[in-house]
């Protein structure tokens, strides 16, 4: 009887481990059926922030752009060029872009796609020992710069302790670290769906 | 050029934020790079952290990378009004490259910083000064909680202690890039604005151009604005530091795209930027018609007593510059003038009031609506309407002839349409009915026998005109001696919304 119980506990442990490592269920990328996935030049617009944590706006935009450059899969337009474009067009972060804006973006920055991101949820919770674990939800849209049509949409949510390896190792305790990891996961998901420069 | 760029179709041309590469001439390799002061988002959007900048400088120097002095970089930032890296565009990156002869500009951002519980998030981006594009990026994010050591030995107590070991590792790839990179001499320009005024013109009118452009190095010999209307050279205006010019718009309707043409050197090497701006020639007036509703057609005349609904219609849908509504009396005296910028409203309501908000007198009015487009083409429509917001006044007079007394009723005051029906009765001071009558037209005469000794009587009149205005006078005193008496209409208290 005791032997059976131990076996059950062992199986339950294995099952928990498998569920824990069962992949990233909260990352969903929806690709439009007619999307042209050959994307080489991209511009990242300033992120929109739907949360109370205003400091995350620039942080998220810079971290995501940094991951795009690090991926070496796209030519990312420099942030200053995007900033100057928005200034000339008198556009604020989160402003709706019209067809003429996309046409001007494509013409002036020579891009294939425009990335618009927003932080939809940001928070943290305490763990034992007073450790704060961040929690974030990101929403990323990619638009075709030629037509202004939506190419893909990614929704991702993560907590810092989801990256735990053993004991405290691997736990992400910073917002920037969490955005960095989430951005990398989103970009890798795009690659797996064939979104890359060919 | 740096090795890790993806060059595809037109990206190879290096067109970014209206920056155009004209000549790129490679020269000797240089390892010196520019490290911009570290932006610190924890201090706000324009925050700078010089302590961290020093830490990064030290790490880079230890890795063998030569840096342009910080004071020179700060001087450049001040001269070029660089307050935030959000607007440090390709032009400025190339300018840094040209000024300091460096192949790379490194921008660092402290995205997150907490001193009490050491936490930090940093990103680095290296920009190629040949075209201003990012060629390398790295990020570090950690906290003291993530760097727990065995028995707490050597645990970082400050953010600098936390990040220093990670900096070298993060910045290592930059060394290779700095060695591989080559500084280049480039002649570029940054188009700050090209403004045509007016943007909408009639054929043959003058179009003015104002170009604001910055050049890295030598200015072109000539700058021209070119469209289907022809080529027009722009003159440099030292006062405004811009190029200005003008030309006549073509006669034909249409949109005319304007290209910029830079002519460089004696050979007049031409560089063209297409479709920088456009202007539109419109010769046709907007085609305005005015439909008026809620009025009553009486013969050939359109009359109303309460309000009119004015529905403007345009035969083409293009943005309008402004519109005006004028209401004049038939004798030409203006009563209302409203002028507004922008498009016409879908509908307007006129409640028969003047500019001061007071109800206008009964009479004939001319309504004129005028609209003008952005090119100055005007179109207008007029309609004559009749306002009658009150019935004609009724005048009562007692006359005597042949030993009989007569009550004479006649219409008075300002009116366009008479009463269509009326009823009147005259009673003695004690309430005895002296006479009663009704009819459809005025004047009318009613015979009665006065009561001896009474010098006054009560007259009551009611009626209605063609537009439905109602007259109601009750127990109005009238002298039985032979004098004219105008019977005042009793005002009806009512609420009428403002025009």
pLDDT tens figures, B139-188: 989 888 777 666 566 677 788 888 888 888 889 888 888 877 665 545 57
Alpha helices by DSSP H, listed for B104-234, are 159-180
**What is B393-487's CATH number?**
2.60.40
- Res B182: pLDDT: 61
Q: Please, is B342 exposed, middle or buried when counting C-beta atoms within 10 Å of its C-beta (0-12, 13-18, 19+)?
A: exposed
Phi, psi angle pair for A100, to nearest 5°:
-70, -30
Q: Is the pLDDT of residue B418 over 50?
A: yes
Residue with tokens 């005597």: B400
* DSSP secondary structure letter of residue B392: P
Q: Do B145 and A83 touch (CB under 8 A)?
A: no
CB count within 10 Å of CB B251 equals 11
Collect all residues with Cβ–Cβ distance below 8 Å to B409 and sequence separation of at least 6: B394, B395, B396, B422, B424, B442, B443, B444, B445, B446, B461
Report the C-alpha gap between B489 and B472 in whole angstroms: 7
Considering only residues B11 and B356, tell me which one the structure prediction assigns the higher pLDDT.
B356
Q: Which of B440, B414, B411, B439 is nearest to B425 (CA)?
A: B439
The domain locations on chain B are 9-186, 189-281, 288-387, 393-487
Cis peptide before B218 (omega within 30 of 0): no
**Chain B residues 84-113 with CB within 8 Å of chain A:** 85-90, 92-93, 109, 111-112
Residue with tokens 């934020």: B17
- Res A196: pLDDT: 87
- Res B404: pLDDT: 82
Q: Give all strands of the β-sheet with B308-314 in edge-to-edge order.
A: B288-293, B308-314, B348-350
The pLDDT confidence band at residue B16, using thresholds 50, 70 and 90, is very low
Considering only residues B274 and B184, tell me which one the structure prediction assigns the higher pLDDT.
B274
Phi, psi angle pair for A8, to nearest 5°:
-60, -45
Q: How far is B391 from chain A (nearest CA, A)?
A: 57
Q: Please, is B486 exposed, middle or buried when counting C-beta atoms within 10 Å of its C-beta (0-12, 13-18, 19+)?
A: middle
Report the C-alpha gap between B10 and A101 in whole angstroms: 20
- Res A137: pLDDT: 95
Phi, psi angle pair for B234, to nearest 5°:
-100, 140
Residue B466: alpha-carbon gap to chain centroid: 46
Phi, psi angle pair for B150, to nearest 5°:
-60, 125
Q: Is the pLDDT of residue B226 over 80?
A: yes
- Res A185: pLDDT: 95
Beta strands in B41-170 (DSSP E): 104-114, 119-128, 134-143
Residue A84 has its nearest CB partner, among B8, B17, B138, at B17
CB count within 10 Å of CB B227 equals 21
Report the C-alpha gap between B5 and A76 in whole angstroms: 10
Set of chain B residues whose Cβ sits within 8 Å of the Cβ of A176:
111-112, 120-123, 139, 141
B433-437 mean pLDDT = 87
DSSP output for A119-186:
EEEEEEEE-GGG-EEEEEEEEEEEEETTT--EEEEEEEEEEGGGG--STTTT---SHHHHHHHHHHHH
CB count within 10 Å of CB A86 equals 20
Collect all residues with Cβ–Cβ distance below 8 Å to A195 and sequence separation of at least 6: A31, A37, A39, A142, A151, A152
- Res B15: pLDDT: 33
- Res A142: pLDDT: 95
- Res B246: pLDDT: 92
CB count within 10 Å of CB B75 equals 11
Set of chain B residues whose Cβ sits within 8 Å of the Cβ of A72:
4, 6
Q: How far is A101 from chain B (nearest CA, A)?
A: 14
- Res A39: pLDDT: 93
Residue with tokens 């049509």: A149
B89-104 mean pLDDT = 89
Pick the CATH number of B288-387 from 1.10.10.60, 3.40.718.10, 2.60.40.4070, 1.10.10.10: 2.60.40.4070
The pLDDT confidence band at residue B315, using thresholds 50, 70 and 90, is confident
Q: How far is B31 from chain A (nearest CA, A)?
A: 22
- Res B9: pLDDT: 35
Q: Is the pLDDT of residue B47 over 50?
A: yes
Q: Which of B329, B314, B330, B318 is nearest to B369 (CA)?
A: B314
Pick the residue of A56, A68, A70, A80 with the most B CBs within 10 A to test the interface with B by mutation: A80
Q: Is the pLDDT of residue B294 over 60?
A: yes
> Cβ of B142 under 8 Å from any chain A Cβ?
yes
- Res A157: pLDDT: 94
Q: Is the pLDDT of residue B356 over 50?
A: yes
Q: Is the pLDDT of residue B137 over 90?
A: yes
Element holding B242 (H helix, E strand): strand B242-248
Q: Do B133 and A78 touch (CB under 8 A)?
A: yes
Residue with tokens 């459809």: B440
Q: Do A80 and B18 touch (CB under 8 A)?
A: no
Report the C-alpha gap between B37 and B450 in whole angstroms: 109
Q: Are B46 and B82 in contact (CB under 8 A)?
A: no
B454-459 mean pLDDT = 86
Strand partners, B132: none
Q: Are B222 and B260 in contact (CB under 8 A)?
A: no
* DSSP secondary structure letter of residue B488: P
Q: How far is CA A92 from CA A59, A88, B316, B451, in A?
A: 17, 11, 32, 88
CB environment B447-467: b (16+ within 10 A), e (fewer)? ebebeeeeeebbbbbbbbbbb
User: What ipTM goes with this model?
Assistant: 0.84
Residues in chain A where the model's pLDDT stays below 70: 1-25, 129, 165-169
- Res B11: pLDDT: 34
Report the C-alpha gap between B410 and B396 in whole angstroms: 7
Q: Is the pLDDT of residue B8 over 60?
A: no
Report the C-alpha gap between B242 and B214 in whole angstroms: 9
**Structure token pair of residue B493:** 């208290």
Report the C-alpha gap between B423 and B409 in whole angstroms: 11
The pLDDT confidence band at residue B82, using thresholds 50, 70 and 90, is confident
> Cβ of A49 under 8 Å from any chain B Cβ?
no
What architecture is the B9-186 domain classified under in CATH? Answer: 3-Layer(aba) Sandwich (3.40)
Q: Which of B278, B13, B291, B38 is nearest to B130 (CA)?
A: B13
B117-125 mean pLDDT = 90
Q: Is the pLDDT of residue B492 over 60?
A: no
Q: Is B342 left (phi over 0), alpha (psi -120 to 50) or beta?
A: left
Report the C-alpha gap between B27 and B102 in whole angstroms: 11
The pLDDT confidence band at residue B206, using thresholds 50, 70 and 90, is very high
Q: Are A41 and A157 in contact (CB under 8 A)?
A: no
- Res B31: pLDDT: 66
Helices (H) and strands (E) in chain B, counts: 4, 32
- Res B371: pLDDT: 93
**Mean of the per-residue pLDDT values of chain A:** 84
Phi, psi angle pair for B264, to nearest 5°:
-105, 135
Residue B121 has its nearest CB partner, among A59, A70, A197, at A59
- Res A106: pLDDT: 85
Q: Which of B110, B45, B37, B42 is nearest to B77 (CA)?
A: B37
**Mean of the per-residue pLDDT values of chain B:** 82
* DSSP secondary structure letter of residue B18: T
pTM above the 0.80 mark? Answer: no
Which domains, and CATH codes, for chain A?
26-192 (3.40.50.10610)
Q: For A111, which residue in chain B has the nearest alpha carbon?
A: B11
The pLDDT confidence band at residue B267, using thresholds 50, 70 and 90, is low
Helices (H) and strands (E) in chain A, counts: 5, 7
Report the C-alpha gap between B380 and B318 in whole angstroms: 16
**Structure token pair of residue B231:** 């080529």
B470-492 mean pLDDT = 70
pLDDT tens digits, residue range B360-402? 989 999 999 999 988 889 999 999 999 998 888 888 888 888 7
Q: Which of B96, B106, B118 is nearest to B63 (CA)?
A: B106
**Structure token pair of residue B209:** 């151009």
Same fold, B189-281 and B393-487: yes
- Res B13: pLDDT: 32
What is the CB-side half-sphere exposure of residue B202 using CA atoms within 13 A? 10
**What is B189-281's CATH number?**
2.60.40.10
- Res B76: pLDDT: 92
> Cβ of A197 under 8 Å from any chain B Cβ?
yes
- Res A3: pLDDT: 52
Q: How far is B278 from chain A (nearest CA, A)?
A: 13
């Amino acid at each position: 009887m005791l032997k059976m119980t131990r076996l059950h506990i062992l199986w339950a442990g294995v099952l928990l481990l498998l569920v824990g490592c069962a992949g990233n269920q909260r990352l969903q990328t929806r690709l439009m059926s007619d999307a042209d996935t050959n994307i080489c030049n991209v511009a990242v617009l300033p992120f929109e922030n739907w949360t109370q944590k205003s400091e995350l706006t620039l942080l998220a935009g810079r971290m995501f752009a940094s991951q795009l450059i690090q991926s070496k899969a796209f030519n990312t337009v420099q942030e200053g060029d995007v900033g100057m474009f928005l200034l000339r067009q008198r556009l604020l972060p989160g402003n709706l872009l019209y067809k003429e804006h996309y046409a001007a973006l494509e013409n002036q920055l020579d891009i294939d796609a425009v990335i618009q991101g927003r932080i939809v949820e940001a928070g943290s919770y305490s763990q034992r020992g007073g450790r704060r674990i961040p929690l974030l939800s990101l929403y990323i849209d990619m638009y075709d710069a030629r037509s202004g049509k939506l190419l893909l949409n990614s929704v991702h949510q993560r907590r810092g302790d989801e990256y735990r390896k053993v004991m405290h190792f691997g736990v992400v305790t910073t917002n920037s670290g969490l955005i960095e990891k989430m951005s990398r996961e989103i970009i890798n998901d795009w690659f797996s769906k064939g979104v890359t420069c060919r | 050029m740096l090795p890790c760029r993806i060059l595809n179709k037109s990206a190879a041309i290096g067109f970014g934020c209206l920056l155009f590469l004209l000549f790129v001439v490679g020269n000797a390799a240089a390892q010196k790079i520019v490290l911009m002061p570290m932006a610190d988002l924890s201090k706000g959007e324009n925050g700078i952290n010089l302590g961290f900048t020093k830490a990064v400088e030290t790490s880079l120097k230890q890795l063998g990378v030569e840096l342009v002095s910080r004071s020179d970089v700060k001087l450049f930032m001040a001269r070029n009004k660089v307050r935030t890296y959000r607007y440090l565009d390709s032009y400025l990156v190339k300018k840094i490259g040209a000024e300091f002869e460096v192949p790379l500009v490194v921008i660092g951002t402290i995205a997150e910083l907490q001193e009490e519980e050491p936490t930090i998030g940093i990103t680095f981006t290296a920009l190629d000064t040949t075209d201003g594009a990012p060629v390398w990026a790295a990020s570090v994010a950690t906290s003291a909680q993530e760097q727990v050591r065995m028995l707490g030995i050597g645990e970082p107590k400050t953010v600098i202690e936390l990040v220093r070991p990670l900096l070298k590792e993060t910045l290592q790839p930059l060394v290779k890039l700095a060695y591989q990179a080559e500084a280049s001499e480039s002649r570029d320009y940054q188009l700050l604005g090209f403004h045509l005024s007016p943007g909408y013109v009639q054929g043959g009118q003058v179009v003015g151009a104002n170009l604001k452009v910055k050049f890295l190095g030598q200015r072109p010999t000539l700058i021209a604005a070119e469209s289907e209307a022809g080529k027009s050279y722009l003159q440099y205006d030292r006062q405004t530091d811009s190029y200005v010019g003008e030309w006549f718009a073509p006669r034909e309707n249409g949109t005319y795209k304007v290209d910029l043409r830079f002519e460089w050197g004696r050979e007049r090497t031409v560089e063209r930027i297409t479709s920088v701006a456009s202007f539109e020639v419109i010769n046709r007036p907007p085609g305005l018609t005015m439909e008026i509703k809620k009025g009553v057609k009486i013969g050939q005349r359109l009359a109303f007593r309460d309000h009119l609904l004015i529905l403007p219609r345009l035969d083409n849908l293009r943005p309008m510059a402004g519109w005006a509504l004028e209401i004049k009396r038939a004798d030409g005296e203006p009563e209302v003038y409203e002028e507004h910028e922008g498009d016409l409203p879908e509908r307007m309501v006129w409640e028969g009031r003047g500019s001061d908000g007071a109800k206008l007198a009964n009479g004939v009015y001319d309504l004129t609506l005028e609209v003008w487009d952005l090119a100055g083409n005007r179109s207008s429509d007029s309609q004559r309407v009749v306002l009658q917001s009150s019935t004609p006044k009724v005048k009562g007079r007692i006359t005597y002839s042949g030993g009989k007394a007569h009550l004479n009723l006649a219409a008075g005051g300002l009116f366009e349409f008479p009463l269509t029906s009326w009823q009147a009765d005259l009673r003695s001071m004690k309430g005895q009915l002296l006479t009663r009558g009704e009819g459809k037209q005025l004047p009318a005469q009613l015979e009665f026998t006065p009561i001896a000794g009474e010098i006054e009587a009560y007259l009551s009149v009611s009626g209605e005109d063609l537009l439905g205005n109602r007259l109601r006078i009750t127990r109005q005193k009238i002298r039985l001696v032979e004098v004219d008496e105008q019977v005042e209409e009793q005002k009806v208290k009512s609420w009428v919304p403002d025009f």
